[in-house]
Structures are given as C-alpha cells and as structure tokens.
Structure 1
C-alpha cells in the first residue's frame, strides 16, 4: 500500500475545522476541561521513533520516557524500542517489499508507525497482533488523518499475514522464509521474502547494512561473519569485572568463562545496591577489560587516560595499578562531568580538563587511548551504531584516531608506552593504526590482542563477550 500523500499533522491531532471569522463557539455555561490523557507505552515509543526516523541514520542514544507508567507498561515501552533499534533494517526490508513507493520518501511519522507496529507483530509474542495494529492505526489517525490510518492499517495487516501463526523453527537455517530470533530460534514467515544473495539475506535477517557485512568479509570467512551478525541480535547479559573482588561475591553473580568476570543475574535494584556497596566490582565486559589486562605486569608510576569516557577502564587502571598516579580526562563535557563526579573522592585518580593535559608533557609512563571508534565489536550493546556505518564515516574516525595518537606522544616519558584500544572489528581502526604509528612515529608495536564477539542467540550468557582490539605502542 502506498504511504499517505499528505504529510502527517505535526500539531499532535487531526486538523481543526474552520469557522466563520470572529465567530465563537456557543457556550452553555462554563465546564471544566478534563485533564489531559497520559500517553500510553506505545504512544511514547511512537513519538520517540518518529523523532529518530527523522534523523536516521544518526540515531540518538536514548530510551523512551516511562515516567507515570506502571512497571509492566514501562517494560513494554523499553521492549518495543529495543527491538526497533536492533531490527530496524529487517522491518525496513520487508516494508520496502510491501510499499509501492520508496521507503525514504514516506513521512518520518509514517515510517515510525510501521516500525513500531511491525516490531510487535514480528518479535513480541506476548502482544496480540490486533492490539499492535489498532493502537498504531489510532495514532496515525490522530497525527495524519483518515488516509494515513488506512494506509498504516493496510501495511500492518500484511505484516500480520506474513507472521502467520508465529510458527518457530528450533534454529535459524538461513532460509528465505525465516528470521533469526534472540533466543536462538527462528520465526517462520508465510512467504520467502528475504533476498537470494547470501550477504544481502544475512543483512536483512540480522538487521545489518550489507556494506558492513562485506567490510567484515575482507578479514573474516563467511562463517565468522554470520556468527558476528547473529551476535548483534542477542540480548547481552550484565557482566561484572570481579578480578579485584576483596570479599565473597553475591549469589546473583555466576562465573563467566573468562576468569575475573561474572554474569549478574539479579534485578536492576539488586545490581544498583551491589555497585553502591562494592567499590571493588563494576560492570565491564571481558572484551572491554582486554586492554588493561594485557599490561597488568607493568609497573607505571604515572598513567594518563585522555579518553576516559564514563570511567570504566579508569576504574580498572586504578585497581590494576594501585601505586600509580592516574590523570583522567575526556573532551566531551557531559562525560567529563560524570567522570569528575565518579572520582571526586579518589586520592589516586585526578580528573582534569582535556586542554590541561599538555601540562603533563613528558611524564606519562603509560597512556591509555580508548579512542572513539565505529563500535562494530559491541553492536549488541550499541545497536544504534550499526546504522551509522559507512566508508566515509570510517575514514573520518581513523583520522580522529591518528590525531589522538599524535597528540598523546608528547605526553610520554622517555620509557613511556601507549596502550591503544578500540571496540571495533575493522582493521582500519586497529592493525592499520598500529602500523601507521610504527611507520610515521618510529614506534614499536607489541602485545597485539583481538577478541572477536562470542556467544549469541540461544547460547549461555556465561559465554557472551563483545569484540575489542588492543596494542602496546612504545
């Protein structure tokens, strides 16, 4: 069905009826206006996805607003939005097969309504399809009029037909009529709607850009590309770094296959209580801890962490090198504010503005460069990052990374070393950067480590890890 020709009404409701100039509506005594109705979980997600669709592919890292919703409705809002960010391109592929006009030519609110409705129809078994269609149609009518609601109804009904009885296969077998699910099973579609080309089919089934998968093919066999793509639709567990625990762990911490890490199985409230009470535990995936762990045998007296972010690796540095003086910073003002708050009471970690790092030239025996990257090793945790990948952005990122390396060299002492780290799978951000530093700055390269994402749909959470790369440059 074609999308509505007229734009959705941006005023938040159906167009008002014109009246005669100067004419007031008849009044029969004052009446108290009823309080405004609180938006439902689906309506809140619709509003958020409409804003995200308008700025696609530069999706904001955000969550739906759930204030005022009960726990069940709040969980529904988060579940719908999480599915959309993870399976956006899967839904878009199917919608393109259904629509008569190009997907990108449709109004952002129209696309958002399809995404929200289809996410529930295809991937949320506990939501009756008629409920997903009904509320999407009502929202479209309020924001775009009758024609918009009819078009939405027609498109979503085809999604319902495609999902059929929501039959499952025990595992995903890469057929044209099935979609892999986060629990390891596969949703059977009533039609073979996926592409014939194996990479295009994998891209549509797992919601990755074909260009991203083909970039992985340059350094991985197809079997590994398939495994990494499936990893991206998994729900990642909460993993604690427990390598420096000073007392027994809570019963909610289950050993991970990587030593020094445990999967947290308790509630969100229990996690907050644990982290508040235990400074020797923090949330960190084994891939994230790879870099600092690779240099744990060193004894640096001064460490500089210029890209500290929210301080996860800074905490690991603090625990790994208790006798070192650590200087941390971040160029982003919001992250810097958080970083300052986290370490405000620390006698070991000093947080300073990024521009003041130059005052410590020639002092660092170790510099941790956890540089901005494409996040392709952590797409299960950062699903919005998969939509931003293209070669132009990658070239821009590698330029930034090289500048950070060059700017950090003056901070090194005579025997100082740079620990370079990313959560990327792309050699251009990893091995090629190490080679560049060695060639242009006469530095040596050692302790190169790469971790490919492991675990995935249907596999035990104790086997899950993200992907990462690190190298020591001296």
Structure 2
C-alpha cells in the first residue's frame, strides 16, 4: 500500500519459493484484508485509546490477523501464533490484547464490506447510491469462475455449470483451475463474462484482419482467433506476451504476437477491425482485485484518460475506410468510458457509433441509450454478478 503496487505484482515478488497451497493462502489473507479493511479498521479504532497511524506495523498485523479470524475463519491459536512474532520487539502486548478481546467479545463484520469513503463518494456522484450499495455487496466475496470456450461444449459436458451466454460457462469459486477438466487440452480459458463482450461485438472474422491492441494476457485474442479473425496481438509487455503465447499454445489457437508500444508502433497496412482494450484504472474488476479501490485516486484516473485519448486517436488511423473500432475499458469511471468516447466523436467528425443491439448481448445485459455497453455492480446478481466494463463500437468514415 505504501508503494502503490498492484496486488498481483506484489504477490509475485513476495511469494517466491512458497508451496502452491501456502502461496494461495498468503494471497487470500491479503485479498480479504484489503476487501474488508474499512470495517476491520473500524473495529481496531473502536478498541484502542489512541488511533494507530495507518502505516504502523501493529495496525498492519492486526488487519491481517482479524481478516483471518473473521473472514477466513482460521483457528484462533494459529492466528495468534503467527501474528505475535511479526511484532516481536514492538507492541506485542497491544496486538495480543486486541486479538484476545476480538475472541472474547465475538467481534463480527457487517453483511457487506464498506467501500473506501472516497470511492463511495465518487461512484455515488456518477451512478447513484444504489450502485454503491450493489458494489459493496459485490466486493464482499470473491467472484465465481467464468470460462470462455473456443467451441460450444457438447450436451452433458459441464452440466454443473451455469450457461449465461454462448461459448460461456460459470462455476462456483474454490476450484483449482489447472485441475479442472479439459485444462491441458485447451478448449477453454478463464475470462469474466463482461470481459468477453468486446470481442463478441465483432462477430465472425471470416479471415479478415484485426488488431488486438493491449492484448495480453490474451482472453480476447483467443476469442477472436476462435471466431475466425486473422489476429495481430500487440502488447508492450514481454512478460505478459509470454503468458499470451502460452495460452495460445495451450488452446491450439493462432495469432501473430507482436511486442510493441502502440504509442510508437504502427502496423504495416490498414486493417478491417481494431479492438482497443485500453489501459485503465481497472476499477471495474475490484471484485477480483480488491487492491484497486485502495490504490486508484482521481490523479491516476485523469492520467489514464489522457493516455486513452492518445491511443484512440492513434488507433483510429489504422483502419480501412468504414472499418470497425471497439473501445473497451474495465473501469467504472465515466472519464474512461462515456466521456472518453464523447470527446473523441466531437474531435473526429465522420466517425459514428455503430450501436449495439440488445440481441447481440447475453440475457440480463442491455445497451444504454447511446448504443454503448456499460456493465455495473448489480447486474446479474442472482447469477454471481459481473465485472464493470464499458464498450463502444465505432465506425470509421467510409472514405
């Protein structure tokens, strides 16, 4: 939290050498601490005479210990035995006393995890209080596992899974992905239903050429390749492209993989379609990445919006006349979605919105009044919810 690192990057560095089960448990502790931190801090502050500074070790240790006690239900003796050595030579008595009090008084957390105050205020202004309440409910537990398929599973396969859309299945959380049927054979990959929408809106490729920009780790690349597009997948990160290449190899799908920063890279010739999954604040994927709501502030949102505007302009020059551009972000900020596209259209006369029709989307998801797709907390709640996404389909001038 001091460095502002994304959880997955911090976890990669911090869990080197751990056994898989220990690594998973360490990440679960941190994830649930971040998810419930507002409420855990309220418990800590209500039990201390003086408020502990945010960055002192004792608060950090208490946060981790209380997440284990109250969320993960780790046995109390194990929590105490692992927490106290972390404050050896420090406020050991304070930590021990609060953990004992938590057990004696049977501390508990609210039904839904409260969002950080700044986030709740920002989203209330953009979407209203009902969406903030829905976001809090969605944030309170990790999401289910969604799978995308290269071809529709046969009858009787994945009978225990929910089918929310063609080429999609949803399973309860808690299964090891690598141990699930068909993982090695490569017929599917993990991808939230909301994340599958941008590629769905491009339809069948029929051999036409498409640029998948900011493509790694490759869920959309694989969707598009399976749909018959001649895909060029471009990303600046060599590490993330290696994962994309591994995914292509596992699934047996084909795409040209190019390492390049699209602020300087350019294709050799115009293409039929472009999918720009633009770098963004990622506030829409807060259910599976609870760190984002603690890390992202208005400054980062403004910086991301400025970058997105530049990338949109650059990518728009790479299309054939009348070509299709899909712009998508996994953000719940209007500045990175609706406002971004409105500004682009104002600056680029001749470009039009290729309105999304209801029949192109899974049941329970509908285009907004402008023909865009905006998924919000509260969508498909009974089926396990959705990540927050914005998707716009634009048409280049015909000549």
- Quickly name the TM-score band, shorter chain normalised: 0.7 to 0.9
User: Residues 193-250 of structure 1, C-alpha deviation per residue, up to 9 Å, x if partnerless?
Assistant: xxxxxxxxxxxxx242212112211232312220122101222111112472264564
CA, structure 1 residues 271+252, in 2 after alignment: closer, same or farther (shift >3 Å)? Answer: farther
RMSD of equivalent CA atoms = 3.1
- Determine helix, strand or coil for the equivalent of 2:272: strand
CA distance in 2, matches of 1:114, 1:231: 24
CA distance in 2, matches of 1:318, 1:300: 9
CA distance in 1, matches of 2:354, 2:152: 29
Whether the 8 Å CA contact 1:362–1:414 is kept in 2: the answer is no
Match of 1:452 in 2: 376
TM-score (norm 1): 0.70
Match of 1:232 in 2: 139
- Determine helix, strand or coil for the equivalent of 2:85: helix
1:349 aligns to 2:255 (yes or no): yes
- Structure 2 counterparts to residues 177-196 of structure 1, below 5 A: 179-180=110-111
Match of 1:189 in 2: none
Match of 1:185 in 2: none
Whether the 8 Å CA contact 1:361–1:412 is kept in 2: the answer is no
| 30, 36, 39: which one aligns with 1:90 | 39
TM-score (norm 2): 0.82
| 142, 150, 157: which one aligns with 2:100 | 157
- Structure 2 counterparts to residues 356-435 of structure 1, below 5 A: 358-360=265-267, 362-435=269-342
- Structure 2 counterparts to residues 245-324 of structure 1, below 5 A: 245=152, 247-248=154-155, 250-251=157-158, 253-264=160-171, 267-268=175-176, 271=179, 273-279=181-187, 281-296=188-203, 301-320=208-227, 322=228, 324=229
Displacement of 1:399: 0.7
| 23, 45, 64: which one aligns with 1:116 | 64
1:326 aligns to 2:231 (yes or no): yes
- Structure 2 counterparts to residues 188-207 of structure 1, below 5 A: 206-207=113-114
Whether the 8 Å CA contact 1:434–1:473 is kept in 2: the answer is no
- Structure 2 counterparts to residues 48-59 of structure 1, below 5 A: 53-56=1-4, 59=7
User: Residues 263-320 of structure 1, C-alpha deviation per residue, up to 9 Å, x if partnerless?
Assistant: 23584266455122133x2211110111121231676711001210211101111112
CA distance in 1, matches of 2:254, 2:167: 23
Displacement of 1:162: 4.9
Displacement of 1:331: 1.3
Match of 2:115 in 1: 208
Structure 1 unaligned spans of 5+? 1-52, 167-177, 182-205
Displacement of 1:159: 3.4
CA, structure 1 residues 246+261, in 2 after alignment: closer, same or farther (shift >3 Å)? Answer: closer
Match of 1:133 in 2: 80
Match of 1:30 in 2: none
CA, structure 1 residues 347+221, in 2 after alignment: closer, same or farther (shift >3 Å)? Answer: closer
Larger radius of gyration: 1
CA distance in 2, matches of 1:268, 1:59: 20
CA, structure 1 residues 101+452, in 2 after alignment: closer, same or farther (shift >3 Å)? Answer: same
User: Residues 11-30 of structure 1, C-alpha deviation per residue, up to 9 Å, x if partnerless?
Assistant: xxxxxxxxxxxxxxxxxxxx
Match of 1:18 in 2: none
Displacement of 1:342: 3.5
| 240, 244, 248: which one aligns with 1:335 | 240
CA distance in 2, matches of 1:285, 1:249: 22
- Determine helix, strand or coil for the equivalent of 1:114: helix
- Determine helix, strand or coil for the equivalent of 2:169: strand
Bigger mean CA deviation after superposition, 225-234 or 252-261: 252-261
CA distance in 1, matches of 2:283, 2:194: 13
1:65 aligns to 2:10 (yes or no): no
CA, structure 1 residues 74+212, in 2 after alignment: closer, same or farther (shift >3 Å)? Answer: closer
Whether the 8 Å CA contact 1:236–1:381 is kept in 2: the answer is yes
Displacement of 1:351: 0.8
